[in-house]
Structure 1
Amino acid sequence: MFHNTIISDGISIYKFFKQLNFDFYLTKPQLRHLENVMNAMISKGYNGKISDIAELATSKHRTSITRFLSNSNWDEKLLERALKSYIIELIWSKSRESKQPTYLIIDDTISEKTKPSSKAKNPIKKCSFHNSHLKGKNVYGHQILVSLLSCDGLVLPYSIDIYDKESMSKIKLIQKLIATLPKPENKGYVLADSCKDIFNASEKAGYSYIGALKTNRVIFPQGNERLGIKLHKFATSLSIENFDLVTVQDKQYYIYNYVGDLKDRKNVSIVLSYPKDAFQKDGALKTFISLEKSLAPLEILTQYTDRWAIEPFFRDCKTYLGLDGYQVRSYKSINRYLIIMLTNYTYCKIYCNDSHHFNTGYKAAKKDLEKFKVIYIYEAAASGTPIEEIFESLKIA
Structure 2
Amino acid sequence: MDLLFCLEGILSDFRPLFNQQNFAVFQAFIFGFIANRGNGTLTELYQSSASETQYWSFPKFLSRGKWNADAVAALLIRRIQHLFEDWVYVYDETKALKTGKSQWGLHFFGNFSYQKHRVNQSKFHYGHEFGALGLLSQTATQWHLFPVWVKLIAPQTIRDKSQAVLKRICSKIVPGLIIFDRGFARRKVFTMARSFGHHILCRAKSNAVFYRLPKPPKHRQRGRPRKYGDRLDIRRLRYTLVDIGGQSYSIASKVVRTKMCDAEVRLVIIRNRPKASKPYRYFCVFTTDLMLEIPKIVEYYQQRWQIETAFRDAKQHFGFDAYRSKSRKSINRFVQLSFVAAALTKLIFLMPETTQKPISVEKVCQHLGIHWYRPRKLTQGLRVAYLRSQMAVASFSAKFRKKTNSQNISLTFQDDTPLPFNKAA
SS at match of 1:48: coil
Q: CA deviation at 1:58?
A: 6.3
How far apart, CA to CA, are the structure 2 residues paired with 1:12 and 1:203? 37
Pick closer, same or farther for the CA change 1:247–1:374 going to 2, 3 Å. same
Q: Does 1:66 align with 2:59?
A: yes
What's 1:217 paired with? 208
> How many aligned residue pairs are there?
351
Deviation at 1:34, TM superposition (A): 3.1
Q: Do the aligned residues in 2 keep the contact of 1:87 with 1:156 (CA within 8 Å)?
A: no
Check if 1:173 corresponds to 2:169: no
182, 187, 194: which is aligned to 2:185? 194
Displacement of 1:112: 1.6
More helix by share: 1
> Equivalent residue of 2:88, what SS?
strand
- Separation in structure 2 between the aligned mates of residue 94 and residue 261 of structure 1, nearest angstrom: 33
| Residue of structure 1 aligned with 2:132, choices 135, 146, 161 | 146
2:154 equivalent to 1:164:
yes
Structure 1 stretch displaced more, 123-132 or 138-147: 123-132
Pair 1:21-2:6 in alignment:
no
Kindly provide the CA deviation profile for residues 261-285 of structure 1, in whole angstroms up to 9, marking residues without a partner as x. 2135453222233454279979964
Deviations for 1:99-147, whole angstroms, at most 9, x for unmatched residues? x4x3111111111223x2xxx5xx2211111224345643111111111
What displacement does 1:181 show?
A: 2.3
1:108 aligns to what?
93
Question: 2: distance between equivalents of 1:258 and 1:379?
Answer: 68
Q: Does 1:129 align with 2:131?
A: no
| Structure 1 residue 326, shift from structure 2 partner | 2.5
Partner SS, residue 84 of structure 2: helix
Q: Provide the C-alpha distance between the structure 2 equivalents of 1:254 and 1:85, rounded to a whole number of angstroms.
A: 41
Are 2:235 and 1:256 aligned?
Answer: no
Task: Tell me whether 1:309 sits opposite 2:294 in the alignment.
Answer: no
Distance, in Å, in 1 between the alignment partners of 2:277 and 2:179 is 26
CA distance in 2, matches of 1:326, 1:19: 26
Work out whether 1:94 is the aligned partner of 2:84: yes
Q: Structure 1 pair 350/280, CA: closer, same or farther in 2 (3 Å)?
A: farther
| Structure with the greater alpha carbon radius of gyration | 2
Provide the rounded CA distance (Å) in 1 between the counterparts of 2:5 and 2:93.
Answer: 32
Indicate the residue corresponding to 1:4 in structure 2.
none
CA deviations on 1:23-82 (whole Å, 9 max, x unpaired) are x52332x33433333333222335232231243346973444333333x3323x2x4314
TM-score by length of 2: 0.70
Q: Does 1:382 align with 2:385?
A: no
Tell me: CA distance 1:280–1:271, structure 2 relative to 1, closer, same or farther (3 Å): farther
Counterparts of 1:89 and 1:179 in 2: how far apart (Å)?
Answer: 18
Are the counterparts in 1 of residues 76 and 148 from structure 2 also a CA contact under 8 Å?
no
**C-alpha distance in 1 between matches for 2:263 and 2:243:** 29
Contact 2:6–2:348 (CA under 8 A) maintained in structure 1: no
Task: For residue 228 of structure 1, report the CA deviation from its aligned partner.
Answer: 6.5
- One-letter amino acid of the counterpart of residue 103, structure 2: I
AA aligned opposite 1:259: V
Percent identity between matched residues is 16
1:208 aligns with one of 196, 199, 215: 199
User: Secondary structure of the residue that 2:324 maps to in structure 1?
Assistant: coil
| Closer/same/farther in 2, CA of residues 175 and 276 from structure 1, 3 Å limit | farther
C-alpha contact 2:131 2:151 (8 A) present in aligned 1: yes
Matched residue, 1:392: none
What SS does structure 2 have at the residue aligned with 1:45? Answer: coil
> Which runs of structure 2 are paired with 1:216-365 in the superposition (5 Å)?
216-221=207-212, 234=233, 238=235, 242-246=238-242, 248=244, 253-263=249-259, 264-277=261-274, 285-352=282-349, 353=351, 354=355, 358-359=380-381, 361-365=383-387
Q: Distance in 1 between matches of 2:44 and 2:29?
A: 9
Q: Measure, in 2, the Cα distance between the counterparts of 1:376 and 1:292.
A: 54
SS in 2 for 1:277: coil
Q: 1:362, 1:37 → 2: CA distance?
A: 15
Structure 2: runs of 5 or more not aligned: 116-122, 215-225, 360-377, 409-425
Q: 1:176 to 1:376 in 2, by over 3 A?
A: closer
What is the CA RMSD across the aligned residues, in angstroms?
A: 3.7
Change (3 A) 1:89 1:383: closer
* Residues 350 and 361, structure 1, Cα contact 8 Å, conserved in 2: no
CA contact (8 A) 1:191 1:211 kept: yes
Gap change, CA 1:93 and 1:34, over 3 Å in 2: closer
- In the alignment, structure 1 residue 81 sits paired with structure 2 residue 71: yes
Q: Which runs of 5+ in 1 are unaligned?
A: 1-8, 387-397
1:53 pairs, out of 33, 37, 45, with 45
Q: Which residue of 1 aligns with 2:375?
A: none
Q: 1:210 to 1:260 in 2, by over 3 A?
A: same
Counterparts of 2:185 and 2:127 in 1: how far apart (Å)? 25
Letter in 2 for 1:128: H
> 1:390 is matched with which residue?
none
Name the amino acid aligned to 2:400: Y
The AA in structure 2 aligned to 1:87 is I
Structure 1 164/275 Cα, relative in aligned 2: closer, same or farther at 3 Å?
A: farther
The SS at the match of 2:148 is: strand
1:286 to partner: Cα distance: 3.1
Structure 2 match to 1:6 = none
- Aligned-residue offset at 1:209: 2.0
